[in-house]
A and B are shown apart, each in its own frame.
Chain A
C-alpha cells in the first residue's frame, strides 16, 4: 500500500513550504501528471517521496520513516549482514572475483586482472531481489511474511521472480527476518546503499571475506539459476517462433 496523500501533503509542506507543485516536479523530475494522479487517487508512490527527498537533499530512508507505515525505519540501525551484502553483488562481478582469485599470480598481465579491481556495479542487479530474500531466508521467512502482510505466497514469489518487491513488503520481509529494515529497499533499487546507511565498500569487503570455496559455490548457484532462467526464456521464444512459422 502506497502512502496516504494527506500524510504526503503534510510531509511536503515540511520539506518544501510555499513551493508550487510545478516547481517540486521540476526539481525532483517527478512527472506532474503522475503526481497529480497519485494525489487524486489518495495514494502516493514511495518512489515519488524518494525522488523529492533526493531533490531537497534529504535522506530518502529518513523521509520514508516519517510516514506511519515506515516509522520503524528510523529506529533500525542494524548493519547489513555479509550474506545480504554479497547477495547485492551482480553475478558478473562474482564471476570476475572467481577469475581474479583463481588466476595464477603474476601470470595474468591483462588489465582486467589488475589487483586494483574495477568497482562493483551498484545494486540492484538482475536477480537482486530474489538473491536478497534467499540470503536472509531461514526457510520459514516467506511463510512469516505472508502471515504478517496477508499477501499470498504465490504472489510474493511472483514478485521475487520478476525482481520486484513492493517497498512495504520489502520492509516487512526485513522485519520478519530480523535484519536491517532498509536492506530490501536497496535490493529493489528504491534507495542506494549509501542512503540505506551501508558503509562504503561494505559489499567489496564482504566479498573479500568470502572463502574461495564459498565464492565458487555461490557463483555456481547463481550461474545455475541464470541458466534455468535463460533456458526458460529460450523455450518461450521457441514456442512463439513455432507459431510464427506455422500460422503466419
Chain B
C-alpha cells in the first residue's frame, strides 16, 4: 500500500514535470519545471531501491539522504514562491524570500549539516533507519536531523497557508478554488510532519501517508490550475504574449 502510494506520487510528479517541458523550452515560468523535477528526484530518493542504488554511487555513507533534504528545500522554495506570487500573497513571498525566510533556511541548513557530520553515517539505509539503530547518540542525532529536514518545508508551507485559505473563499473560478484547497491541504499536512516523533511506532505508516498525500495534493493542485487555464484559454485569452 505504501509502496503504491510512493510510486503513484513519483509518477504523478514526474508526469507533471514532463508536462512543463514545452513551457521550459518557451522559457515560461521555468522555476515550476525545476521545482517539479527536484520534487520527482526527491521522491525517487525517498524510495528504498532507488535510494540504495544512488547512495552506492555517492560512497554508501548516506550522502544521498543529505542531498535529498536540500533537494526538498530547493523544490519547496521555488514552488511556494510561485504559488504565493500566483495567488497574490505578497506577505507569503516576503516570509519566504525576505530576511526571516533566509535566516530560517540558513539556520536549519546548518543544524542539518552539523547533525549529519556528527553522525556515524556509514552503511546506506533509506530513512537512516539502520544509522539510528547503531547507538543512542546516533538515534538522537537522526531525530534532530529529521526534525531539521522537516522544519524548513513546514515553515514555508505555513507562510503560504493564509494566502491559500483566503483564495478558497475568494470569488475565483471554482477550479482555482479547488486547487487552492488542495494546496492548503498540502500546506497543512507538511507542518504536521513535525509531529512525527510523537507518532507511536505502531502507526508509522501514518508518516508515509501524510508525506505523500501532501506531495500529491501539491501536484494535483497545480495540475488543476493548468486544466483551468486550458479551459479559460479556449474561451478567452486576454494575456497579450508569452512572458519571458
Contact = CB atoms under 8 A, between A and B. Distances in A.
Among A239, A242, A243, chain B packs the most CB atoms within 10 A around the CB of A243
B172 A248 contact: no
A242 B170 contact: no
A127 B56 CA distance: 70
Contacts of B29: 246-248
Contact of A248 (B87, B171, B173, B225): B225
Contact of B232 (A236, A244, A245, A247): A244
A240 interface: yes
A248 B88 contact: no
Please tell me the size bucket of the interface on B: 20 to 34
Interface in A214-245: 232, 236-237, 239-245
Given A236-B172, A239-B170, A240-B172, A246 B239 contact: no
7 contacts: A232-B171, A242-B86, A243-B86, A246-B29, A246-B83, A246-B86, A247-B222
A239 B232 CA distance: 14
A247 B32 contact: yes
Interface of B: 23, 28-29, 32, 82-83, 85-88, 170-173, 176, 222, 225-226, 229, 232, 238-239, 243
Q: Is the interface of A mostly helix, strand, loop or mixed?
A: helix
A246 B170 CA distance: 18
Interface of A: 232, 236-237, 239-248
Nearest to B79: A247
Nearest to B237: A244
B239 A240 contact: no
B86 to A, nearest CB: 4
B171 A243 contact: no
Contacts of A240: 172-173, 176, 232
